[in-house]
């Protein structure tokens, strides 16, 4: 059985960036499952389907040919053979992904696809429902979180560095709204698995968060990580 490390947590907790570093140091692949939901969302937007319309989204989600590939160890997310990795990072797609991820028909497909991918190799998988639904028997489960204020501050700094001038209050409101949506949906809401280790990075910088995560994994798999 491949080793699976499940990392769940709210938006902006640093899942992707910290997970990416840990996966590199363990020499295993990193599956960003949010990218898969984003790709289904892009498909709906391109086809003029309202992401809030459960019936139509459910009827058409099987048409979205979502696959992941790895180039130089980095995930590329494909829609019908087209590399959409960069196109799925817009605000419009984020909002649509949040909407379509509520629908059980979408989740069923994503969960099945993610299980298939996770069975192929040792892998670190990040998302919202990995330890609870996708891989309840994962080797290691971590719930990575931080206060909404800490997460909004990080995101605001990223925006500033990119020259995007969004007020902090707006970023914080967006983080809180996405938290609300992720934790209150009926299908697979975001929650910590009973057997997940909680890692709160509110008071930690990136290097400290990385060290803390490496320590949790090393203890579980009995292996030191450089
Ligand atoms: O992690 P992210 O922001 O890229 O995720 C995009 C959306 O997909 C987000 O609204 C939460 C949802 N998602 C989910 O419901 N389950 C997952 N395993 C991963 C993401």
Does residue 97 line the site of ligand 1, with CB under 6 A? yes
Tokens of 135: 């891989």
Distance of CA 155 to the CA centre of its chain: 15
User: pTM of the entire structure?
Assistant: 0.93
Distance 126 CA to ligand 1 centre (A): 9
Does residue 38 line the site of ligand 1, with CB under 6 A? yes
What pLDDT is attached to residue 219? 92
Q: Residue with the nearest Cα to atom 8 of ligand 1?
A: 34
Q: Which residue has the higher pLDDT, 1 or 187?
A: 187
Q: Average pLDDT, stretch 135-146?
A: 96
What pLDDT is attached to residue 17? 87
Q: Average pLDDT, stretch 119-146?
A: 96
pLDDT, averaged across the chain: 94
Q: Residue with the nearest Cα to atom 9 of ligand 1?
A: 98
What pLDDT is attached to residue 117? 96
Does residue 102 line the site of ligand 1, with CB under 6 A? no
Does residue 98 line the site of ligand 1, with CB under 6 A? yes
User: How confident is the model over 87-116, as pLDDT tens digits?
Assistant: 999 989 999 999 999 999 999 999 999 999
What pLDDT is attached to residue 224? 66
Q: Average pLDDT, stretch 163-183?
A: 92
Does residue 103 line the site of ligand 1, with CB under 6 A? no
User: How confident is the model over 62-88, as pLDDT tens digits?
Assistant: 999 999 999 988 999 999 999 999 999
Distance 33 CA to ligand 1 centre (A): 7
Does residue 33 line the site of ligand 1, with CB under 6 A? yes
Residue % of the chain over a pLDDT of 90: 82
């Amino acid at each position: 059985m491949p080793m699976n490390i499940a990392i769940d947590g709210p938006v902006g907790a640093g899942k992707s960036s910290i997970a990416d570093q840990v996966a590199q140091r363990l020499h295993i692949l990193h599956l960003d499952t949010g990218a898969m939901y984003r790709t289904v969302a892009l498909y709906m937007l391109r086809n003029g389907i309202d992401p809030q319309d459960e019936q139509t989204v459910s009827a058409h989600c099987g048409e979205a040919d979502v696959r992941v590939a790895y180039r130089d160890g980095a995930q590329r997310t494909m829609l019908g053979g087209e590399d959409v990795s960069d196109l799925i990072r817009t605000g419009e797609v984020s909002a649509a992904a949040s909407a379509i991820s509520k629908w059980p028909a979408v989740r069923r497909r994503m969960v099945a696809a993610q299980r298939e991918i996770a069975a192929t190799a040792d892998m670190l998988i990040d998302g919202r429902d990995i330890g609870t639904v996708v891989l309840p028997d994962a080797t290691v489960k971590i719930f990575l979180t931080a206060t909404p204020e800490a997460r909004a501050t990080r995101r605001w700094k990223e925006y500033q560095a990119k020259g995007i001038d969004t007020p902090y209050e707006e970023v914080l409101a967006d983080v809180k709204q996405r938290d609300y949506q992720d934790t209150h949906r009926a299908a697979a809401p975001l929650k910590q698995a009973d057997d997940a280790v909680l890692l709160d990075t509110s008071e930690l910088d990136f290097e400290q968060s990385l060290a803390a995560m490496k320590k949790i994994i090393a203890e579980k798999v009995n292996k030191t990580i450089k």
